[in-house]
Amino acid sequence: MTDIDSSGLGRLVRVADPRTVWLSESGDFTPWLAENIDILGDELGMTLTVEATEVPVGQFRLDIKATDEDGRVVVIENQLERTDHSHLGQCLVYAAGLEAATVIWISRQFRDETRRAFDWLNERTDGGVQFFGIELSVVQIGQSGPRAPVFDVVSRPNDWQKRVKGESRSSHVQGGSSLNSARQDLFADILERVNEQRPTIRVPARNEGSNWINVASGPFGSWVISQPGDGRLRVEAYLDCGDRERNKALFDEFEGDEDRWEGATGLPLSFERLDDRRASRIATYHSAVDLQGDVTPAVGDSLVAWGATAFIALFDVLNEPLRRRARQLRTAQTQVDRAQYPESPHDAAPRSSAGDL
């Protein structure tokens, strides 16, 4: 029996147990999610950056500590089984211990009582903290096709969908004449045009009050559009995987092939190591422009066209090589760490059982 029908279409099959893909929660799923955090961020309409994994919080260990686009703490708890009261309690411990703005609980299946608990928390807590319950599943095309993860949001803040949709365009009404609002208008137009040509690149919420916007890209960092103080427009691969040494090693390797990358993108590239910072960047620039001046429709459209073209050219050429090499560097560092420190974090501070709560 073929997986493809006469129209060239496959049938989507849902894999019953995610453990057929990730045998171990801490050893397989958490590292995978940390490297592919953009998939989760896209589903939630957030830009997530991983700060650390297996983070001690009292007698427990949080799976992933991340930050959102505003630098607020996001705690992510993974569970490849059905939800239980122990993990519900741990989520609250992590939220309080790290003063989190967002709590994300991922599970194979949410029990009704734990889903209602998250719904209750979203109704009773103030706007400073939000709770997401997410069911994890795996799908594949036919019986032998490639597999893909699916994140189904089963509990969210009451106004979340409305807020995400509204922020992309309407939130600039307040203070809409400011320079940063004009920048955000331009960035949104650029990314909407990018999305038309590359639908997998989603348009993030506006980053109000800032001169930049970013699209997370998992292992190596993010894609950023900005207008620095000199007035130029910049599109860049922002290299920040959370570790300075890996960031600089990744940058140095790609800078060593500068001619190759310039030829492949067709763009003049600026390799900026940023030795005074943890991160580095690979960027291309447009000449300075006054976005609060008399920008005619024709000029505005030319800026959008330049930004979209530059973004797509950089993304198409550099995204996969950067992601792949960042993963390799992370794996190599993990192997070195394990060789030097054979005792695992779980041996040093095991997760507590339900009876410890």
Q: What is the pLDDT of residues 115-125, one digit of tens each?
A: 999 999 988 87
Distance CA 36, CA 219 (A): 7
Q: Radius of gyration (Cα) for the chain, nearest Å?
A: 22
Answer whether residue 174 shows pLDDT above 50.
Answer: no
Q: pLDDT: is 6 or 247 the higher one?
A: 247
**Are 222 and 251 a contacting pair, CB within 8 Å?**
no
List, for residues 318-332, the tens digit of each pLDDT value: 999 999 999 899 888
Residue range 87-110: average pLDDT? 94
Per DSSP, helices labelled H in 82-203 are: 85-97, 112-124, 160-167, 179-197
What is residue 5's predicted lDDT score, i.e. its pLDDT?
A: 66
What is residue 309's predicted lDDT score, i.e. its pLDDT?
A: 97
> Would you identify the CATH topology of the domain 13-164?
Trna Endonuclease; Chain: A, domain 1 (3.40.1350)
Q: pLDDT: is 110 or 339 the higher one?
A: 110
**Are 171 and 208 a contacting pair, CB within 8 Å?**
yes
Kindly state the tokens that stand for 150: 């699916």
- Give the list of residues 6+ apart from residue 100 with CB closer than 8 angstroms, or none: 72, 73, 74, 75, 94, 129
Residue that is written with structure tokens 């990358």 in the block: 261
What is residue 188's predicted lDDT score, i.e. its pLDDT?
A: 94
Distance CA 240, CA 218 (A): 10
Angstrom distances, CA of residue 299 to CA of 189, 211, 346: 13, 19, 57
**DSSP conformational letter for 220:** G
Residue type, 149: P
Answer whether residue 349 shows pLDDT above 70.
Answer: no
List, for residues 45-84, the tens digit of each pLDDT value: 788 888 899 999 988 999 999 998 778 899 999 999 999 9
Answer whether residue 204 shows pLDDT above 50.
Answer: yes
What is residue 159's predicted lDDT score, i.e. its pLDDT?
A: 64
**Are 317 and 265 a contacting pair, CB within 8 Å?**
yes
Distance CA 275, CA 120 (A): 47
Angstrom distances, CA of residue 114 to CA of 106, 107, 128, 134: 12, 11, 21, 11
What is residue 70's predicted lDDT score, i.e. its pLDDT?
A: 77
Residue range 268-291: average pLDDT? 94
**Are 196 and 312 a contacting pair, CB within 8 Å?**
no
Answer whether residue 305 shows pLDDT above 60.
Answer: yes
Q: What are phi and psi of 241, to 5 degrees?
A: -95, 10
Q: Domain map of the chain by residue range?
A: 13-164, 169-340
Q: Which region, left, alpha or beta, applies to residue 160 given φ > 0 means left and ψ of -120 to 50 means alpha?
A: alpha
The reported pTM is 0.60
Residue 333 — pLDDT band, cuts 50, 70, 90? confident
Residue 185 — pLDDT band, cuts 50, 70, 90? very high
What is residue 231's predicted lDDT score, i.e. its pLDDT?
A: 92
Distance CA 109, CA 150 (A): 13
